[in-house]
């Protein structure tokens, strides 16, 4: 597919890609910035092409954020590695189903879940503030792996908004991690979900490689800054950004559903 690109379109997409990388690195949700920007800039794009191109852009920034976190945060690799590996085929299956499942089916459920997340986090100031791994059992670790790798992995392939947020909530709730550690762990799993979906979209010819690669450069810059900001500011900062991002996601999904 050939696209007519002008300087304003390019500058706008590069800026949005950097912002999406920052948001993704801290709490997730960058796709809600980048996918609408693609569709607004190029109305002729199909949603599948926008999703596929977004995955190409997002996987680079997410990988950089994951490496940055891994170098400076102690992560439970016994959870991170199997969850990330499971996420690859799960997200691939989700991407295969993406064209068959109407987005209208997901939006109301996701909006309700995100509202519940925002209320829960806002009402529980100690949630995600302290780590207490002593209470984590083997069953809880396996449950976290299954939900994150299979359930959320499939969801990211078929729809996607809020994937990072849901991963953070699962890891914080089941593994009793701080928000910062949960965000770091979420990035590693998110690399797997992006990879699985990208493979399927690429095989279907639904990726704009040159545009996606150009946006990836800015996405990497945004992700690197976002990860370093979160590491420097700590779990309290991640908690605030989480609430703000969830509120923004609910408003965006509500506009898409009813606007």
Mean pLDDT for the stretch of residues 213-220:
95
Residue 188 has pLDDT above 60, yes or no: yes
Task: Kindly state whether residue 3 falls inside one of the protein's structural domains.
Answer: no
pLDDT in tens, 77-107: 899 999 999 999 999 999 998 777 776 676 7
As for how many domains the chain has, the answer is: 1
Assign 145 a pLDDT band (cuts: 50, 70, 90): very high
Note the pLDDT of residue 3. 61
Note the pLDDT of residue 32. 80
Note the pLDDT of residue 132. 62
Note the pLDDT of residue 128. 59
Mean pLDDT for the stretch of residues 131-138:
70
Q: Minimal CA–CA distance to 60: which of 230, 199, 223?
A: 223
Task: Kindly state whether residue 181 falls inside one of the protein's structural domains.
Answer: yes
Task: Kindly state whether residue 16 falls inside one of the protein's structural domains.
Answer: yes
Q: Is the pTM of this model over 0.75?
A: yes
Residue 1 has pLDDT above 70, yes or no: no
Q: Name the residue range of residue 253's domain.
A: 12-258
Task: Kindly state whether residue 254 falls inside one of the protein's structural domains.
Answer: yes
Residue 141 has pLDDT above 80, yes or no: yes
Task: Kindly state whether residue 6 falls inside one of the protein's structural domains.
Answer: no
Average pLDDT of the chain, as a whole number: 86
Task: Kindly state whether residue 4 falls inside one of the protein's structural domains.
Answer: no
Task: Kindly state whether residue 1 falls inside one of the protein's structural domains.
Answer: no
Mean pLDDT for the stretch of residues 52-72:
92
pLDDT in tens, 146-165: 999 999 999 999 888 778 88
Q: Which residues contact 17 (CB under 8 A, 6 or more apart)?
A: 34, 57, 215, 216, 218, 219, 222
Residue 217 has pLDDT above 70, yes or no: yes
d(C-alpha 127, C-alpha 112), whole Å: 20
Task: Kindly state whether residue 225 falls inside one of the protein's structural domains.
Answer: yes
Choose between 60 and 119: higher pLDDT.
60
CA 146 to chain centre: 17
Per DSSP, helices labelled H in 124-234 are 138-146, 153-158, 163-175, 179-203, 209-233
């Amino acid at each position: 597919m050939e696209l007519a690109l002008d300087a304003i379109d390019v500058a706008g997409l590069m800026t949005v890609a950097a912002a999406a990388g920052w948001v993704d690195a801290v709490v997730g949700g960058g796709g809600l910035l980048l996918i609408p920007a693609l569709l607004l800039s190029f109305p002729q794009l199909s949603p599948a092409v926008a999703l596929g191109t977004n995955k190409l852009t997002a996987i680079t920034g997410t990988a950089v954020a994951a490496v940055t976190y891994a170098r400076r945060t102690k992560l439970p690799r016994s959870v991170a590695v199997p969850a990330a590996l499971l996420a690859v085929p799960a997200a691939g299956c989700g991407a295969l189903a993406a064209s068959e499942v109407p987005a209208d089916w997901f939006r109301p459920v996701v909006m309700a879940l995100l509202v519940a997340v925002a209320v829960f986090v806002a009402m529980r100031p100690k949630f995600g503030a302290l780590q207490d791994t002593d209470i984590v059992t083997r069953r809880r670790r396996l449950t976290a792996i299954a939900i994150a790798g299979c359930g959320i992995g499939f969801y990211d392939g078929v729809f996607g908004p809020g994937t990072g947020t849901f991963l953070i909530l699962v890891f914080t709730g089941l593994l009793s991690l701080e928000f910062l550690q949960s965000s770091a762990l979420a990035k590693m799993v998110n690399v797997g979900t992006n990879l699985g979906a990208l493979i399927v979209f690429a095989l279907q010819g639904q990726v704009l490689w040159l545009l996606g690669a150009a946006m990836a450069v800015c996405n990497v810059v945004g992700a690197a800054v976002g990860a370093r900001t979160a590491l420097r500011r700590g779990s309290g900062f991640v908690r605030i950004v989480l609430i703000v991002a969830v509120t923004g996601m609910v408003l965006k999904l509500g506009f898409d559903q009813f606007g």
